[in-house]
A = this chain, B = another copy of it.
Amino acid sequence: MVDHSAAGSDRKPDAALDRTLGALADPTRRAIVAGLRRGPATVSEVARPFPISLYGVSKHVRVLERAGLVHREVRGREHHLSLRAEPLRALSDWLDGYAAFWEERLDALERELAEDRRGD
């Protein structure tokens, strides 16, 4: 019997990471997140810089919200959005699992570059 559960070392597929990475994969959404880093803002405020419709941005915001990256606080008719850090931290933790790998590779790269310079 083939073991389908251990394709590497990821225990469970981790749907939260799916949503975080998926949400951040869109440049508009990354820009929204970048804007929100400066502090909370309403949907209209967040939408202003973008050339797409308000509702277009609204949909992006909902994706970010489902990923837990953005928190919405309805205050009267305004929806105040703020950046939530946890998913970013989780992503960073996941990435840390590869830090050792890329540092190794980078050492190797540096060695290669040193050789290339010598032969240049």
Contact = CB atoms under 8 A, between A and B. Distances in A.
Interface stretch (A72-80, A86-94, A112-120): A86-94
A15 B28 CA distance: 11
A21 B14 contact: no
Chain B CB within 10 Å, residue with most, of A15, A28, A95: A95
State the oligomeric state as a number of copies: 2
Given A4-B51, A95-B91, A106-B89, A10 B31 contact: yes
A25 B25 contact: yes
A25 B21 contact: yes
Nearest to A109: B85
Main SS class of interface, A = helix
A66 interface: no
Interface residues of A, number: 50
Contact of A4 (B49, B92, B105): B49
Given A10-B31, A18-B25, A99 B105 contact: no
Interface of A: 2-4, 6-10, 13-15, 17-18, 21-22, 24-28, 30-38, 48-51, 83-86, 88-89, 91-92, 95, 97-99, 101-102, 105-106, 109
